[in-house]
Structure 1
Amino acid sequence: MSYQNILIAKEHNIATITINRPEKLNALNKVTIEELHHAFSTLETHQDIRAIILKGSGEKAFVAGADIAEFAEFSVEEGIQLSAQGQETLFNFVENLKVPVIAAINGFALGGGLELAMACHIRVVSDNAKMGLPEVSLGVIPGYGGTQRLPQLIGKGRALEMILTAGMISAEEAYRMGLVNHVVKQEELVSFCNEIAQKIIKNSPAAISMAIHAVNANYKEGENGFETEIKSFGKCFGTEDFKEGTKAFLEKRKAVFTGE
């Protein structure tokens, strides 16, 4: 598939996806969401890809929100469909991806942009970043998981304040709240994310995918996170990665994991 709005680069088991709509501050439209889904789903099947970095092009924005012009005239049913399809196609999909996704947040991450960052497994921001969910200022609410993931990350009270005021917060505020993992200088953002990815790819891909599944289970209705952990822990014993990891430990050498 040829992409209009995203770029993909691969190096040393790490893939970088760049949302490339700088003239629109990398705003998410239908085509971009579909392209991102295709890119993530394709990279997940590549055994040589062990981590993914997601970033926006240019110096102004990670993703400045959704493309409002696309849905300004939508009906109630069209709005429901927009939210449901978006969550299934991209946001929930990224959250449940077997390969860890690191969001490199530069500049603005607003609305759907912040929701996409929150769906990623790890978030790193540049010191010039501004984040927020301004949807209520447009007469709507966050529809791509923002009302659910933000309270999970920073607590109900702070989440409601951010959502109801439609205000933006700084990188340092986001860090203090626990919304992001790290704050770094703008020029160091991608290299810092790459350092985290390098640490990840040394470990078992099979175990990493199990860990993501187990952590996510705690936040899913009808799932018992502890039970999921127990089952996932047990499944690890049936993998080649477990055999290699324990053998390498006993032989005092570095493990060579295959993800099987």
Structure 2
Amino acid sequence: MSQVLWQADNGIGVITIDSPPVNALNQEVLSQLSDIVGNISDDIQVVIITGAGEKAFVAGADIKEFPQLKQEAGETLCKNGQSVFQKIADLKQPVIAAVNGFALGGGLELALACDFRVASRNAQLGLPEVKLGVIPGYGGTQRLARLIGPGKAKQLIFSGEFVSAEEAYRIGLVEQLAEGSALEEAKKWAQTIQKRSPLAVQATKQAIDKGLELDLQEGLKIEARLFGEICLTEDKNEGVAAFFERREPQFKGK
């Protein structure tokens, strides 16, 4: 039975973790997630990742897999989860996390692998691994510190405490609060992004992600190179023409 669902509609793909009761990330879920991510076609412009129901986005890894872990198996477990989440981060399409309910441990790490996060008001987020005597292993120590700064990341990880959606928004852990459904709010953002040139959006994602790995001057070189490449596209010509003709552009991704 599939525990990870895929639905595509008008260029927006939605991945839903459906592993009751709390959408835990066991190895089968990770395998199914990896397969879906690896087969997303070019006609998908934006990807949304969410959890089934309102109780949990993903409430963490499956703790039942932990008791027998020794050093080698623990490291292998982490590397497997990291590789799946990196596949998500490396997608050329923008990826939005629609966070409903609990996003804890591996669940928050999954959200961190997305490009930005939309959270419902009932969301609670945290990396409570230290309460189990372990550390975040699916990228949490690295992505959280890069997103909200090392000091705040250490405070949250050292304590293992959860934060509310409002606090997560205040500290920059989530970028948008939804008044209603996080998924519906994420779809609105996806539809807005769809109106833009997909080539420009993808180039922007590449410039930001690659640039963050380099110093400023090297990052600026990447930005300039990608800008130059975009100048050769039909989308650039259409966008500029639409501006002067005072109409909405009709981008084709070419």
Gaps of 5+ in 2: none
Contact between 1:244 and 1:257, CA under 8 Å: does it hold in 2? yes
The match for 1:28 among 22, 25, 32 is: 25
Q: Which residue of 1 aligns with 2:131?
A: 137
Contact between 1:126 and 1:171, CA under 8 Å: does it hold in 2? yes
Contact between 1:96 and 1:216, CA under 8 Å: does it hold in 2? no
Q: How does 1:241-260 map to 2 (within 5 A)?
A: 241-260=235-254
The one-letter code sitting in structure 1 at the alignment partner of 2:183 is: V
Q: With structure 1 as the length reference, what TM-score do the two structures score?
A: 0.91
Q: Distance in 2 between matches of 1:75 and 1:154?
A: 31
Deviation for aligned residue 1:203: 0.7
Q: Distance in 2 between matches of 1:4 and 1:174?
A: 31
Q: Distance in 1 between matches of 2:109 and 2:241?
A: 41
Q: Deviations over 1:195-214 (max 9, x none)?
A: 11110000111111111111
The match for 2:163 among 155, 164, 169 is: 169
Q: Distance in 2 between matches of 1:222 and 1:68?
A: 39
State whether structure 2 residue 207 is matched by structure 1 residue 207. Answer: no
State whether structure 2 residue 220 is matched by structure 1 residue 226. Answer: yes
Q: Which residue of 2 aligns with 1:194?
A: 187
Q: Secondary structure at the match of 1:34?
A: helix
Q: How does 1:37-48 map to 2 (within 5 A)?
A: 37-43=34-40, 45-47=41-43
Q: Distance in 2 between matches of 1:96 and 1:227?
A: 20
Length, aligned pairs only: 253
Contact between 1:22 and 1:58, CA under 8 Å: does it hold in 2? no
**Runs of 4 or more off by more than 6 Å in structure 1?**
none
Q: Deviations over 1:31-63 (max 9, x none)?
A: 2112212222322x232x111111101110000
Q: Distance in 1 between matches of 2:37 and 2:215?
A: 27
Q: Cα 1:95–1:243, aligned 2, differ >3 Å: closer, same or farther?
A: same
Q: Secondary structure at the match of 1:62?
A: strand
Q: With structure 2 as the length reference, what TM-score do the two structures score?
A: 0.93
Gaps of 5+ in 1: none
Give the aligned CA root-mean-square deviation in angstroms. Answer: 1.8
The one-letter code sitting in structure 2 at the alignment partner of 1:158 is: K
Contact between 1:91 and 1:116, CA under 8 Å: does it hold in 2? yes
Q: Secondary structure at the match of 1:195?
A: helix
The match for 1:75 among 52, 64, 70 is: 70
State whether structure 2 residue 119 is matched by structure 1 residue 125. Answer: yes
Q: Distance in 2 between matches of 1:259 and 1:70?
A: 44
User: Once the two structures are aligned, what percentage of the paired residues are identical?
Assistant: 46
Q: Secondary structure at the match of 2:213?
A: coil
Contact between 1:123 and 1:180, CA under 8 Å: does it hold in 2? yes
Higher alpha-carbon deviation: 221-230 or 104-113: 221-230
Q: Secondary structure at the match of 2:228?
A: helix
State whether structure 2 residue 54 is matched by structure 1 residue 59. Answer: yes
Q: Secondary structure at the match of 2:181?
A: helix
Deviation for aligned residue 1:221: 5.7
